[in-house]
Each structure stands twice: as structure tokens, then as C-alpha cells.
Amino acid sequence: MLLDATRTVREFAVEMPNATRVFEKLKIDYCCGGDEPLNNACAKAGLPVEEVFSLLTQAGSMNDESEVLHAQSQPLTRLANYILEKHHVFTRNEVERLTALLEKVCSVHGANHPELLQIQSQFLALRAELEPHMMKEERILFPYIVGLEAAAADNHPAPFAPFGTVANPIAMMMREHDGAGEMLREMRKLSADYKVPADVCISYQTLYHALEAFEQDLHQHIHLENNILFPRAIKLEAAPA
């Protein structure tokens, strides 16, 4: 890929192996804010573009079987199933675990660390958004994308879309992704980048480590949908029969 700083963060994330790991480390938004040119994103993060290019080049040379590297060439059905089986399952399992862990840690440390109660409030709001969001993808959007690909393979007309066009539910999902991204940023801010205080127990440390891992997985989850699955589905639907 041409290292052109005017290209978007999304283009780098989609086309370069391991770029998402670099962006995750540098706190550059590649999923919800991926439409921004890389030079602008670097300026906002206070990072020299040349330094980011160097890290991207190093990451791109690694021999890594990353999910994003293969997502572009996978059938949409396989990609959708991968997102369901890996990211939706992880999200559901972790929201249960983290809800209980937050309750425990807040009960012990909430008085001395009131930011925990704010983090808990943000997380519960995020959970309330994610659960119906994933259900809509599983019951409506992803089955339509699977049917769309099957129809194209058999040279049949696209399946009936009660929502008009696949771009409509995708736009809704992307708006909800933006909301989730904002909640993740707020939790990171409240926790001072998940810095564990000195006066806390192992459960507190476990909570912060788990929240950070949850954030990273959700970023990758949203990236696969926003930047790969959804644009390919829109393109497929618009292709001549």
C-alpha cells in the first residue's frame, strides 16, 4: 500500500496487515472515525506522521494471519458467521462477566474511587445498546446479507428487503457503533487510560484489564463490520443482476 498521509485511517486499516494493532496502541480511531485522513488523525493524537509510517511499515512486514487480512477475500456469509461466532459470542460472555465484576469492585472501592460508579453507569448503558444491536444484526441484517450473496451466486434477484435497501439498516448500525465508540472513549477517560490505582485489590486490576480487552475486541468487531462487511454488502446489492 502507498504510504500517503492523505489516505484515510480506514484505508490503512483495511489494506495493511496489523495496522489496527498500531492504531490501537496509538489510540487512533480506525473503526468509527476511520474516514479521517491519517495526517489529521496523527495531528490530533500529537504524533509525527513519519513515526506512524515507520510503525505501520514494521507491522506490515510481520507474517501474521490476522483476521482483517483475510476478511476482504472471504465470502460475505463466512465473514458474517465469523463475526457472530467470534465477536458476538465474546461480547455476550464479557458483558455478563464485567457487569458482575463491576458490581463487586464498586461495592468495595466505590467510596474511595467514585469514578468507578461513572464507569459502571457507562458500561451498563453500553450493554443496553449492544444487546439489541447484536440481535438486530443476527435476526435481520446478517441473514439478508447471506441471502443477497446466495442470490448473486445463483444469478437470482436479490431477496425482498423490507427496509428498502441494505444501506438503511447499515446506516442505523453504524450510528449505533458511533454511540458505542463514544461510551468506550468515556470509560477510558474516566479510568485515566485504565491506569490501576496503587491502593486497590486484584479484582480492581482484573476489571481494568478486562475492560481494556473488551474495548480492543469491540474496536476490531466494529472495524470488520463498518469497513469490510457493510461496504461489500452495499456494493453487492448495487451490482447489476
Chain segment 34-91, per-residue pLDDT in tens: 889 999 999 999 999 999 999 988 876 554 545 555 677 889 999 999 999 999 999 9
Task: State how far the Cα of 215 lies from the Cα of 201, in Å rounded to an integer.
Answer: 22
Kindly report, residue by residue over 141-164, the tens digit of the pLDDT: 999 999 999 999 999 999 999 999
Question: What is the model's pTM?
Answer: 0.86
Task: State how far the Cα of 55 lies from the Cα of 180, in Å rounded to an integer.
Answer: 27
Which one-letter amino acid corresponds to residue 97? R
Average pLDDT over the chain, rounded to whole? Answer: 91
Instruction: Assess whether pLDDT exceeds 80 at residue 97.
Output: yes
Question: For cell 476511520, what's the residue?
Answer: 34
pLDDT at residue number 64: 52
pLDDT at residue number 33: 80
Kindly report, residue by residue over 114-123, the tens digit of the pLDDT: 999 999 999 9
How does DSSP assign 110-155, residue by residue? TTT-THHHHHHHHHHHHHHHHHHHHHHIIIIIHHHHHHHHHHHHTT
Neighbours of 198 (CB within 10 A): 5
Kindly report, residue by residue over 211-226, the tens digit of the pLDDT: 999 999 999 999 999 9
Q: Which residues contact 105 (CB under 8 A, 6 or more apart)?
A: 116, 203, 204, 207
